[in-house]
Amino acid sequence: MMSEVIHLKERNRKLFEKIEEISGEKVTLCEQCGICTTSCPMADEMDITPAGIMRYSQMGDETVLDSEAIWICASCFTCTVRCPRGIDLAKVTEALRELNLRKNIDRIDVSHLDEELDELPAIAVVSALRKFTS
């Protein structure tokens, strides 16, 4: 695997600031201990670990916006209640999702849901649509 040099530019700083602004959290406080990752019930399915998400956010690395991880997150808040620095990670991940959704990039296509719509509880449909679509 080729190693890639990341040239940190103005747009990285801007992304980092945007993330802090939308989430209301100071991502610079993260000391990368990794407790969030091992507390996260979905971590095994993620391409970037929760601690990794925080790292990319700190560096303003746009890769995180294209990750699967931020969508695999189920907003369960386990990371938030465990973070030893007191950071609300759920809000940071939401901010990353919003940065996509606000560009009108939907995560799921509503029209593909007809199969189970009758069986699914309303709560599942509403929450999924709210999290995955703009």
Residues that bind other proteins (CB under 8 A): 21-24, 31-45, 48-49, 51-52, 72, 74-78, 80-86, 88, 90-91, 94-95, 98, 108, 112-113, 116, 119-132
Nearer to other proteins, 52 or 60 (CB): 52
Q: Confirm if 90 and 24 have CB atoms less than 8 A apart.
A: no
Smallest distance from other proteins to CB 55, Å: 8
Smallest distance from other proteins to CB 102, Å: 10
Smallest distance from other proteins to CB 24, Å: 3
Nearer to other proteins, 5 or 122 (CB): 122
Nearer to other proteins, 10 or 119 (CB): 119
Distance CA 60, CA 56 (A): 6
> Residue 120 — left, alpha, or beta (φ > 0 → left; ψ -120 to 50 → alpha)?
beta
Nearer to other proteins, 13 or 32 (CB): 32
Smallest distance from other proteins to CB 48, Å: 8
Sign of CA dihedral 124, 35, 45, 68: positive
Smallest distance from other proteins to CB 16, Å: 16
Name the token pair of 102.
């606000």
Distance CA 12, CA 97 (A): 17
Nearer to other proteins, 17 or 45 (CB): 45
Strands (E) located in the chain: none
H and E: helices and strands count for the chain: 7, 0
